[in-house]
Amino acid sequence: MRVLRPADGIVAFYDGRVEGYRFAEALNWVDDGALALGIASYAIVDGGEALIYDTHVSVEHARFVREALEAEGVTRFVVVLSHKHLDHIAGTAVFADCEVIATALTAEALAAERAAIEAGTKAGPPGIDPLVLPTRTFDERMTLDVGRLRLELIHVDIHSDDAAVIWLPGERLLLAGDTLEDTVTYCAEPDGLDRHLANLERLWDLDPDRILPNHGAPDVIAAGGYPKGLIRATQDYIRVLERCRDEPALRDVPLTELVADSVRAGWITYYAPYEAVHRENVAAMTAPTR
């Protein structure tokens, strides 16, 4: 785990993108769905209060987060879950004594899948047992104070229909969860790309100075995050995916070529493991409809 400090009052707990390192030997979603790409959970800290944005990929990771912040004087925690995917909710048991906030859709999805998530049959092992469910939900927007910091939780339909991003208007800082990624977004819901594009425009209209995604390059996160252009890079990539349905030749174009303009603009970096993500995205977009 690497502890990064991209801004005053913001701590990123980052793991992954370490060659030869695995969480477990057998195939598992921790390594193959999270650490291979690199993943951060964030803490927004003011005085003795902290908001934890996602509980990381395991109980061990979450315990590291909590103990590190307690060592810095934090005594009150609140958790916000960015969405329902396992690599963001796995450490909830460490915060079982805290308020856990999520969108209503996230809470519904986790409650419906709780048995499978705890048994390790939802997406394969490891199971997340016990899974602590959200204790408070919201639908569109919710204002929250962490110490003297005022922030806003916003429900958006990007990557998954239940996503929650965190907007700090005073700092013009956006914590984006999985709605934005570097190098490219993972197309978890291919039927929702038009909605994703429209919701990305909502993020653009916030006019953030910097963006902190959960999956990104650790050096970029440590340096303060990504420019607003990360949103445009994501939209451009989604539009390419949509074209793959009707343009077979586009399906075999290397990812390096597809994202070259965004890399040159400094909006994203290229990370080779996202080639596999891109191949999965193309397969999802071109699969026969049932």
In three-state secondary structure terms, 237 is helix
How do 49-53 and 39-46 pair as beta strands? antiparallel
Look at residue 130 and tell me whether its pLDDT is greater than 50: yes
What is this structure's pTM? 0.96
For residue 176, give the nearest of 220, 136, 113 by alpha carbon. 220
Q: Each residue of 218-257: pLDDT tens digit?
A: 999 999 999 999 999 999 999 999 999 999 999 999 999 9
Handedness of CA 227, 229, 231, 237 (dihedral sign): negative
- Backbone φ and ψ for 110, nearest 5 degrees, come out as -65, -40
For residue 1, give the nearest of 48, 50, 69, 47 by alpha carbon. 69
**pLDDT of res. 82:** 98
Beta strands in the chain (DSSP E): 2-7, 10-15, 39-46, 49-53, 76-80, 99-103, 136-138, 141-146, 149-158, 160-168, 173-181, 210-215
Q: Each residue of 34-79: pLDDT tens digit?
A: 999 999 999 999 999 999 999 999 999 999 999 999 999 999 999 9
- Average pLDDT of 146-150? 95
Look at residue 289 and tell me whether its pLDDT is greater than 80: no
Q: Each residue of 256-265: pLDDT tens digit?
A: 999 999 999 9
With residues binned 3-state (H G I as helix, E B as strand, rest as coil), the percentages for the chain, rounded to 5, are 35, 25, 35
Residues sharing a CB contact under 8 Å with residue 61, sequence separation 6 or more, in sequence order:
1, 13, 15, 41, 55, 90, 91
CB 174 within 8 A of CB 212: yes
Residue of higher predicted confidence among 25 and 166: 166
For residue 104, give the nearest of 143, 56, 130, 136 by alpha carbon. 136
